[in-house]
């Protein structure tokens, strides 16, 4: 086994995976804490964040180079989903050098480092397979939802525009109410005040509750089918062995 | 192939579909933006909206005439679901001519142009088939929900009418609370304040959460059955081919 | 066919059903409107409500007597579910005579007339069969939910009792928050303000969302099994016929 | 049958179970009521709570000793799940003696007595079996949810930090909004005010509604498979009997 093969075994091993996952988590926590800090001029320990940024930059860059090195086809890796994600995870830190101003705006992109973690979650491929099988239906659902948001906004605008011109003064404004109502979040910052608007809301809410039921029903059906099929295949193999 | 057949191929093609869908979207956006505009007297660029209205009117009218022309049975098309939808999409704009006052009230109907888009969404017929198979159960659910809203309103009226006469002064008024609670929206404009009212709300919420579970369970069962059947048919065909 | 048999055919027919359903609906609407009326002394048309009450009383009493008359076993009908419901639907109106004071308190029971309508809804017996098959699991869920409400209330009481003594001053008081949060209603009248309380809420909300998923999953599984079984039976019958 | 065997039959019997369940419920109620009481110095009937605490302590201790006595393997019982739960249910009351100050802090642990009740709920093992089969997927879902909360918090922080620095001043602060929104609770204490923030919320809400659909779909699929398998086994047994 050559050096490259040994290295590949290490990189694809559990210990390396755990290390990278820990780095992602640490980077996410650092990023979150940095967001609340009062800024480089006022913060007494700001340089700690800077040092951490450098550490994450170096480590993620090393990982990227390593993965590129062990990849059988370099170009394929670079343009693969995870090749791009891994590159995006180091690019924003490249700007650590020039100065604080530029850093501040680009720094924000480091949040996408968290997508590196999906590499380990997507191992649960039963779920992603099921989701990909109902892609078309889910897309139709998203379009239907947008249509419903639009129609709900038009309706409530008709009923409430005169009673509450600040919240329902136009259809785009009313869309905020439509989203908050159809998803049953209901912050309470905007709600109908007229009898007509309340009646219309009841109707919209009924439809909304029904709409929310659809994705779970869809998912249940593909997952059940997949399970029954897998079980059948397993039983078939057992019978052949008999 | 005659001219009509050629035209029909174009109208039923993907490019024409995409064009109409774009027109519907553009019309919806224009309608939404127009709603927030301060009105013809105050808006400096109001004539742009007018021009757009004319453009949509002409294009949708042209589409309607085209579809009518290529339809083998004219009368059947006119009274079909999409024949009516397409007509409703142009009718409100017919009143572009006479004057602004009349236009304002009828303009609102242009919102239903968005239903034209369902022509392309309903292609996902697995979902609509499943929904049509549980029509009877869904109707029963809607009636049950209305009964529950009524009973919840009566109950909260009993507990809260004295403590909060503005919000719970009558059963019809209390229904607003019942809808907002059973759908778990919970705007926060009305909520019980007495111990009895809170206890009753807990009960209603428990039942409400159970009720919301029913449509998704129903849908899951029909979709699963349909999937298993389809799979069986496919396997049967494969076996016969062997 | 005797008179009784003819009468039974009428009572069990669709026309009679529709009539009773209409009466129930009308009675519910009258009850709701009466609730908002300012009371017998102030209302100019109060006698209309009184007349309506009398009409409903006479008609529902007539229905009860009719059903009792055509029942093969009188005693069995009286103590059956619908025998009791039908009796309860007329009893509160029996007190129309003595005076307004007494009437006011008992009047409220007329709301249960709406349960008479379940006779026609429960025709959708697929759903009720499925629900009765998961009775045991649903009971376990209700107990689990109550335990969760209790534990959530204890937890938030621990975190918030000092910061918000009015809302979280005791565990029973905190239960109101627990119910409103676990059902995801979220009125917004009470919510945590401390960091610990917010963190605890996040945990409770995660568990709550999972709990809500259980009834729909349970229902989906029994409904699917019932569907697949029914389909199998139908196919078996077709094969035997061949 | 020896004394120990007789005792075991009693302890595992329904009457003893019902007694313990009643004790757990009574203890939970007493704990809840005590929480709202003004404290030992001010409460006129505080000694009742003290007496109750002693009663529960003695009874649960007696139960623990009994269960330990009848257990075939003492050590295995002590370190079993319910052995530890039962011990934890009496430990906090052991500190009834020394004084009120110490009692107050440890008293809180008595809330976990309620876990003793799970012994009787977990009898519904179909549900727990199903949940344990999708353990891996549920874990992935929890991780995905946490990622989503993090990304949502980063996004809203970007849009709202300047408009509402108190609510969205840092990513950890913004997480509170993310949890309340993704679970569709929507208390209404924090919500976006800028157009960008509202648009981002619509996106997050759409994803959140989809995420909530996953656990119920997953559960439905395992429960359905389990049901279909059980039915098959039952049918197989019937056939063999023929």
pLDDT tens, position by position, A104-123: 566 677 777 888 777 766 55
Closest-CA residue of C relative to A218 is C220
**Chains contacting C (3+ CB pairs below 8 angstroms):** A, B, D
pLDDT tens, position by position, A38-87: 665 666 666 788 788 888 888 998 999 999 999 889 899 899 888 888 88
Mean per-residue pLDDT, C108-128:
71
Say which residue, C228 or D60, is predicted with more confidence: D60
Q: How many CB pairs under 8 A join A and B?
A: 126
Q: Which of D188, D220, D224 sits opposite B188 (nearest CB)?
A: D188
Rg of the Cα atoms in chain C: 26
Question: Do A9 and A102 belong together in one domain?
Answer: yes
pLDDT tens, position by position, A130-173: 888 888 888 888 888 998 999 999 999 989 999 999 999 899 99
Question: Do A114 and A166 belong together in one domain?
Answer: no
Question: Do D213 and D186 belong together in one domain?
Answer: yes
Q: How far is C199 from chain B (nearest CA, A)?
A: 22
What is the spatial distance between Cα D120 and Cα C140, in angstroms, rounded to a whole number?
Answer: 9
Domain that residue A86 falls in: 3-123
Question: Do A89 and A173 belong together in one domain?
Answer: no
Question: Do C196 and C100 belong together in one domain?
Answer: no
What is the spatial distance between Cα A62 and Cα B201, in angstroms, rounded to a whole number?
Answer: 57
Q: Which of D186, D188, D220 sits opposite B220 (nearest CB)?
A: D220
All residues of chain D having their beta carbon less than 8 Å from the beta carbon of residue A36 are 169-173
Average pLDDT, chain C: 83
Mean per-residue pLDDT, C89-116:
68
Q: How far is D2 from chain C (nearest CA, A)?
A: 35
Q: Is the pLDDT of residue D185 over 80?
A: yes
Q: Based on the structure, what is the number of domains in chain B?
A: 2
- pLDDT value at residue A168: 93
Q: How far is D240 from chain A (nearest CA, A)?
A: 18
Q: Which of D32, D35, D223 sits opposite C221 (nearest CB)?
A: D223
Query: Residue C210: which pLDDT band, with cuts at 50, 70 and 90?
Result: confident
**Angle (deg, nearest 10), helices C125-133 and C135-160:** 70
For C72, phi then psi, to 5°, come to -65, -40
Query: Residue C91: which pLDDT band, with cuts at 50, 70 and 90?
Result: confident
Question: Do B117 and B143 belong together in one domain?
Answer: no
- pLDDT value at residue C153: 94
Q: Is the pLDDT of residue B124 over 80?
A: no
D111 and C154 in contact by Cβ < 8 A? Answer: yes
* Domain termination residue (choose one: D82, D107, D123): D123
Closest-CA residue of D relative to C222 is D224
Q: How far is A201 from chain B (nearest CA, A)?
A: 9
Nearest Cα to D215, choosing from D149, D143, D142? D142
- pLDDT value at residue B100: 46
Question: Do C227 and C136 belong together in one domain?
Answer: yes
Closest-CA residue of C relative to B177 is C187
D143 and A188 in contact by Cβ < 8 A? Answer: no
Question: Do C149 and C72 belong together in one domain?
Answer: no
Q: Which of B37, B216, B231 sits opposite A217 (nearest CB)?
A: B216
- pLDDT value at residue C168: 93
C36 and B208 in contact by Cβ < 8 A? Answer: no
Tokens of C131: 């629900």
C151 and D111 in contact by Cβ < 8 A? Answer: yes
Say which residue, D159 or D99, is predicted with more confidence: D159
- pLDDT value at residue B137: 82
Query: Residue B203: which pLDDT band, with cuts at 50, 70 and 90?
Result: very high
* Domain termination residue (choose one: D123, D158, D187): D123
Helix (H, G, I), strand (E, B) or coil at A101: helix
CA B181 vs CA B67, B142, C14: distances in Å = 46, 16, 35
- pLDDT value at residue D102: 54
Sequence-separated (6 or more) residues with CB below 8 Å from residue C233: none
pLDDT tens, position by position, C30-75: 888 887 776 656 666 667 887 888 888 889 989 999 999 998 898 9
- pLDDT above 90: percentage of residues in chain A: 26
All residues of chain A having their beta carbon less than 8 Å from the beta carbon of residue B184 are 184, 186
* Domain termination residue (choose one: D57, D91, D123): D123
- pLDDT value at residue B159: 93
Residues of B in CB contact (< 8 Å) with D are 184-188, 213, 216-217, 220, 224
Question: Do A216 and A150 belong together in one domain?
Answer: yes
Highest mean pLDDT among C186-200, D70-84, D95-109: C186-200
Q: Is ipTM > 0.85 here?
A: yes
Interface test with A, best of C220, C222, C225, C226 (most A CBs within 10 A): C220
CATH number for the domain that contains residue C48 = 1.20.120.350
Range of weakest confidence among B1-15, B91-105, D75-89: B91-105
* Extended strands (E) in C66-214: none
CATH number for the domain that contains residue C159 = 1.10.287.70
pLDDT tens, position by position, D80-96: 888 888 888 887 777 66
Query: Residue A174: which pLDDT band, with cuts at 50, 70 and 90?
Result: very high
Q: Is the pLDDT of residue D100 over 50?
A: no
Residue C45, classified by CB atoms within 10 Å of its CB into exposed (0-12), middle (13-18) or buried (19+), is exposed
CA torsion D200→D202→D204→D208, rounded to 10°?
180
- pLDDT value at residue D203: 94
A153 and B32 in contact by Cβ < 8 A? Answer: yes
Question: Do D237 and D132 belong together in one domain?
Answer: yes
B213 and D216 in contact by Cβ < 8 A? Answer: yes
Question: Do C17 and C83 belong together in one domain?
Answer: yes
Question: Do D140 and D237 belong together in one domain?
Answer: yes
Q: What is this structure's pTM?
A: 0.89
């Amino acid at each position: 086994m050559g050096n490259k093969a040994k290295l590949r075994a290490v990189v694809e091993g559990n210990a390396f995976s755990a290390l990278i996952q820990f780095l992602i988590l640490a980077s996410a926590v650092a990023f979150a804490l940095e967001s609340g800090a009062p800024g480089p001029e006022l913060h007494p320990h700001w340089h700690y964040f800077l040092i951490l940024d450098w550490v994450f930059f170096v480590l993620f860059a090393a990982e990227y180079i390593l993965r590129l090195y062990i990849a059988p086809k370099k170009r394929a890796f670079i343009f693969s989903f995870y090749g791009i994600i891994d590159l995006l995870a180091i690019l924003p830190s490249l700007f650590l050098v020039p100065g604080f101003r530029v850093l501040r705006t680009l720094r924000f992109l480091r949040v996408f480092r968290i997508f590196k973690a999906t590499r380990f979650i997507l191992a649960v491929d039963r779920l992603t397979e099921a989701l990909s099988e109902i892609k078309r239906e889910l897309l139709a659902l998203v379009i239907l939802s947008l249509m419903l948001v639009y129609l709900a906004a038009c309706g409530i605008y008709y009923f409430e525009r005169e009673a509450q011109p600040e919240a329902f003064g136009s259809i785009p404004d009313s869309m905020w109410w439509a989203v908050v109502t159809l998803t049953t979040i209901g912050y309470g910052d905007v709600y109908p005040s007229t009898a007509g608007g309340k009646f219309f809301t009841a109707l919209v809410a009924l439809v909304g509750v029904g709409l929310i039921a659809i994705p779970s029903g869809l998912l249940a059906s593909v997952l059940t089918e997949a399970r029954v099929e897998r079980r059948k295949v397993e039983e078939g193999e057992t019978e052949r062995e008999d």
